[in-house]
Structure 1
Amino acid sequence: MSSLRHLRQCHPAGIAISHYHTSSRALSKQSYKVLVLGGGSGGIAMSARLKRMVGAENVAVVEPSEMHYYQPIWTLVGAGAKTLASSGRSTSSIMPSGVKWVKSKVEEINPETNTVRTDDGSEISYEYLIVALGLQLHFEKIKGLPEGFGHPKIGSNYSVETVDKTWKALQDFKEGNAVFTFPNTPVKCAGAPQKIMYLSDAFLRKFSAPKTGKRAKANVIYNTSLPVLFGIKKYADTLWDIVKTRDLQVNLRHNLIEVRADKQEAVFENLDKPGETKVFEYEMLHVTPPMGPSLVIKGGPLADEVGWLDVNKETLQHNKYPNVFGIGDCTNLPTAKTGAAVAAQSAILGRTISRILKNQIPDKKYDGYTSCPLVTSYNTVVLAEFDYNAQPLETFPINQAKERRLMYYMKADVMPHLYWHGLLRGLWGGPGPYRKLMHLGMK
């Protein structure tokens, strides 16, 4: 239970657990040309790119966590297809060589004075600031959590401390309701809450007899706060067909508000009828927690009215402070919060900053590209790719709304390699250039 208390704390995207450095964190150098806040995917990618632009000695990254996790693979970890150990590497091993790693937590950002204060009282000044602080997980906003994770039958693929609990609950499933949730907030990787539903269904079918096994005794239920199954119609149509074919129950506009783990009950509010609730008994429960802006940004001078980092959606430059930039889940960019989006943003932001360093006007625009590999079984994926206008922006010259084995292997094996050896080294900026080749220059 002591480890579960950490779930009340919130961690940046791409980072799972904070183990604070015990030695002195006094800085020999208090000023940097480029200061990067956050050592998740966006922060590391940008520090690698800026190292090549201004020199490693002029770049610093503020990040308290000793471990860095490739979180997109946790969908497969929760379903037993990958191990948790395979998703993590030490922060020291992925930090660009020569770049200063400040093992502290950001406490306050002061853009008027170009300074950042850390939790050990240090003040760091900068010429240019890149904010990559991710978002916050809020399990505590659901009554009965996070303490409910101390009971069996409940897990979440969104935390390093609970993803293995998902796999344990799936393995231990006997009969009854398998319930999967989507909260009434923005989330990172918005397809993940239903991916684990499809995988759980596939697991129960694969490892049990068709008529007498576990799947025949299971009610697989997806309760989502959204009014749709998926936001892009082309892919939603395919997913609805899968739902009907596999006898999966989808309840729209149902938001999880309480977990009674001792009774194995989950309470949902009907968002179309406020105050009306329904109790679901469960044999397995997967919780996607409410999420929100980084508390360091929210309410501060860099935030929009909701609390997200306020940046230009095309250049990723802050709308008020021209020497401040943002990337990834912490921003108010009107696109899905995914690792693929970070990759595409990193290429645009790198170009934006390189132009500004030369006193030139940014000439490349981010089109909102993001991707969501919708895992529908242990060997198939629907590869959704789209832009700001919620229009498909597909890399391959085939119909990506179809379930394909090739896309599963891309998700499970190719994408992790691109992440560790491409994105984090500042060498992978998304599939944009390859899309044009694939489509003979037509996209």
Structure 2
Amino acid sequence: MSSSHSASSHSASSHSASSHSASGVARDRFQVLIVGGGTAGITVAARLRRAGVTGIAVLEPADVHWYQPLWTLVGGGRAPLGVTRRPEAAVIPRQVCWIREAATAVDPEARTVTTAAHRVIGYDHLVMAPGLRLDWGATPGLDAAVGHGAVSSNYAFQHAPYTWELIRDLRSGTAVFTQPSGPVKCGGAPQKIAYLAADHWRRQGVLDRIRVVLVLPADSMFGVPVWRRALERVADRYGIEVRLNSEMTAVDGTDRRLTVADHSTGTEESLAFDLLHAVPPQSAPDWVERGPLADPASPYGYVEVDKYTLQHPRHRNVFALGDVANLPTSKTGAAVRKQAPVVVANLLAEIDGARRERRRYDGYTSCPLVTARDKVLLAEFDYDQRPTPSIPLLDTTKERRDMWLLKRYGLPALYWHGMLKGLV
């Protein structure tokens, strides 16, 4: 998902929209410009400052920083929304300029980024970390339906608490949980909320009166066999009806019906529901997708990078990481934790002009798969889908309560006090 500081220790205005350096001189060019102040952008900025780099700016319009991995637990009634939020000013590293504007275009030849306020900002080195776009309008009816009636989604902070309301109030009927085709952030999240809901209904004694349908676009429940088999057992335990090679192609929130397309047979089914947790299709931000850094091989417009060095193949002063990078691995905060040191090391080599061997990212990612209100399967793997456990002595292929405690309490603490300060 720098030195310690809080919102009270320095205000946003001390290093924000005015884009002034510490000396008070207006700057329109930076040694390192980081587009995005989320997990990836702040982690890289903190690590660069710890390495002594100056002249860093973070381009980020939002004034709130979210720890999104806990939104699943918010939707499952196991965490309050408030603990997932900090002021953006509290996570910007000291002596890093915060430009509170949104990027709208990049020109890698001129080495500039243009903002929504029509500011043109120059850079020597660029780090692309703007995240991805949730395209609620890509599924007909979803944008109008989500957040009220019987439809919710943990993929937006304003809807996650409503997911719990729907789960808590349902006593019978049909509950559908969907995932779209294409890469999505935290690919396990669409399943996790189904398991949390089913576990709640089982504890309330109503699970036998609820039909639970899980709609997944892939041909298996998980890419790594050992965790795939474990998740199949979890689904069987709850009596969940798993639809593989399928996705929701339309929804009518008023009539409470959705269309499920089975891509293996080419057939469509209209399905009535009493609860729908929907995950929107996702892609790169519009300006990235149509810009010169996009990977022509990506139908979703993500930034082209070498999958090991995280460097753009045509523009050596450009790096990308996190959700916006077109990498064959899951889009998670844990992946960023391993990507950021690689980006920083290779960026420093470019700054120094050093002919040193570049650091390599092996594709590590992690997905704590919540399977019950107090159980987690911790899946860790690399580009080759090989398990890469951080704690080799623990069998994380089995559901564990200690991994639940790690998910709920350990990882958030590691995020706020370690990752975002460039320490881990």
Compute the TM-score of the two structures, normalised by the length of structure 1.
Answer: 0.88
Alignment-derived partner of residue 285 in structure 2: 294
- Between the aligned partners of 2:67 and 2:164, the Cα distance in structure 1 is 18
Q: Deviations over 1:92-121 (max 9, x none)?
A: 011112211000000110000111111111
Superposition map of 1:41-440 within 5 A? 41-56=39-54, 58-206=55-203, 208-209=204-205, 214-274=206-266, 276-305=267-296, 306=298, 307-360=301-354, 361-397=356-392, 398-428=394-424
Gaps of 5+ in 1: 1-20, 429-443
The 3 A distance-change label for structure 1 pair 379 and 353 is same
What is the rounded CA distance, in whole Å, between the counterparts of 2:198 and 2:170 in structure 1?
11
Within 1, Cα distance between the matches of 2:420 and 2:19? Answer: 27
* Aligned-residue offset at 1:145: 2.0
Report the Cα distance in structure 2 between the residues aligned to 1:278 and 1:76, rounded to whole angstroms. 30
Distance 1:367 1:240 in 2: 27
Q: Contact conserved, 1:26 with 1:122, CA < 8 A, in 2?
A: no
Q: Deviations over 1:414-434 (max 9, x none)?
A: 000000011111111xxxxxx
Q: Is the 8 A contact 1:137 1:289 kept in 2?
A: yes
- TM superposition shift of 1:254: 1.6
| In structure 2, C-alpha distance between the alignment counterparts of 1:25 and 1:139, rounded to whole Å | 33
2:401 maps to amino acid: R
**In 1, distance between residues paired with 2:312 and 2:358?**
16
Task: Give the AA of the match of 1:132.
Answer: A
The CA deviation string for residues 15-36 of structure 1, in whole angstroms up to 9 with x for no partner, is xxxxxx9x97576210110000
Conservation of the 8 A alpha-carbon contact between 1:32 and 1:126: yes
CA distance in 2 between counterparts of 1:220 and 1:248 reads 5
CA distance 1:222–1:359, change in 2 (3 Å): same
Task: Give the Cα separation in 1 of the matches to 2:265 and 2:259.
Answer: 14
The 3 A distance-change label for structure 1 pair 26 and 370 is closer
What SS class does the counterpart of residue 161 from structure 2 fall into? helix
Q: How far off is 1:358 after superposition?
A: 2.2
Provide the secondary structure at the position in 2 that maps to 1:376: strand
2:409 and 2:209 mapped to 1: Cα distance? 33
CA RMSD between the two structures = 1.6
1:151 Cα shift?
3.1
Taking the aligned partners of 1:118 and 1:151, their CA distance within structure 2 comes to 34
Q: Is contact 2:294–2:302 with CA below 8 Å preserved after alignment?
A: yes
Residues 66 and 85 in structure 2, CA contact (< 8 A), matched pair in contact too:
yes
Tell me the distance in 1 between the aligned counterparts of 2:320 and 2:156: 24
Displacement after TM superposition at 1:142 (Å): 1.1
DSSP-derived class of the 2:344 partner: helix
- CA shift, 1:49, in A, is 1.2
Report which stretch shifted further, 225-234 or 150-159: 150-159
Contact 1:356 1:362 in 2 (8 A): no
Structure 1 contact 25–120 (Cα < 8 Å) conserved: no
Distance (whole Å) between structure 2 residues aligned to residue 345 and residue 152 of structure 1: 40
Q: Distance in 2 between matches of 1:229 and 1:129?
A: 37
- In the TM superposition, what is the alpha-carbon distance from 1:270 to its structure 2 partner? 1.3
SS in 1 for 2:201: helix
Is the 8 Å Cα contact of residues 62 and 100 (structure 2) preserved in structure 1?
Answer: yes
How many angstroms apart in 1 are the aligned matches of 2:123 and 2:71?
35
Q: How far apart are the structure 1 equivalents of 2:18 and 2:30?
A: 16
Amino acid at match of 2:191: Q
Amino acid at match of 1:163: A
Q: Matched residue of 1:383: which SS?
A: strand
Deviation at 1:55, TM superposition (A): 4.0
Partner of 1:39: 37
Amino acid paired to 2:257: E
Contact 2:50 2:422 in 1 (8 A): no
Q: Secondary structure at the match of 1:296?
A: helix
Give unpaired runs (5+ residues) of structure 2: 1-12, 21-25
Contact 2:180 2:280 in 1 (8 A): yes
CA deviation digits over 1:150-176, x for unaligned, max 9? 532211010112111211111111211
* 8 Å CA contact 2:147, 2:159 repeated in 1: no
- 1:184 Cα deviation after fit: 1.1
Percent identity (aligned)? 37
Secondary structure of 1:134's partner?
A: coil
Distance 2:147 2:111 in 1: 44
Structure 2 SS opposite 1:258: strand
Give 2:5's aligned residue. Answer: none
Pairwise CA distance, 1:245: 2.2
The 3 A distance-change label for structure 1 pair 54 and 114 is: farther
